[in-house]
Amino acid sequence: DARVTQTPRHKVTEMGQEVTMRCQPILGHNTVFWYRQTMMQGLELLAYFRNRAPLDDSGMPKDRFSAEMPDATLATLKIQPSEPRDSAVYFCASGGEFNEKLFFGSGTQLSVL
């Protein structure tokens, strides 16, 4: 079965370090979403792309977060510098058009010490 692949599954880093999370969407999907999940905030939409173009990244802290899609097979989410409050599970999802289902990756569990 086709699936969304996220790497790494777990990341432990120290405050101030750069963190890069990667996502391989399902081949043929034209929309990619990045979500962050914490106990306090639930699932927050950080950014999303359509046909590799960023449509909305208003959910991201602009000063430290950036999201890109260098090609159709890779989406990246970077945090620089990382802070303890960034500790969360980050999910990537991909999908077709608005009337099609989303497929989620297994997430990256990030811990910033």
List residues near another protein by CB under 8 A: 31, 33, 35, 42-43, 45, 48, 50, 55-56, 91, 93, 95, 97-99, 101-107
Q: How far is the CB of 16 from another protein (least distance, A)?
A: 28
Q: How far is the CB of 15 from another protein (least distance, A)?
A: 25
Return the C-alpha torsion angle 57, 60, 65, 66, nearest 10. Answer: -10
Return the C-alpha torsion angle 66, 70, 74, 79, nearest 10. Answer: -20
Residue with smaller CB distance to another protein, 81 or 111? 111
Residue with smaller CB distance to another protein, 68 or 103? 103
Residue with smaller CB distance to another protein, 71 or 97? 97
For 74, other C-beta atoms within 10 Å of its C-beta total 14
Residue with smaller CB distance to another protein, 81 or 103? 103
Whose tokens are 């960034």? That residue is 86
Q: How far is the CB of 76 from another protein (least distance, A)?
A: 18
**Cα–Cα distance for residue pair 17/102, rounded to 1 Å:** 31
Q: Which residues contact 80 (CB under 8 A, 6 or more apart)?
A: 18, 19, 64, 66
Q: How far is the CB of 47 from another protein (least distance, A)?
A: 11
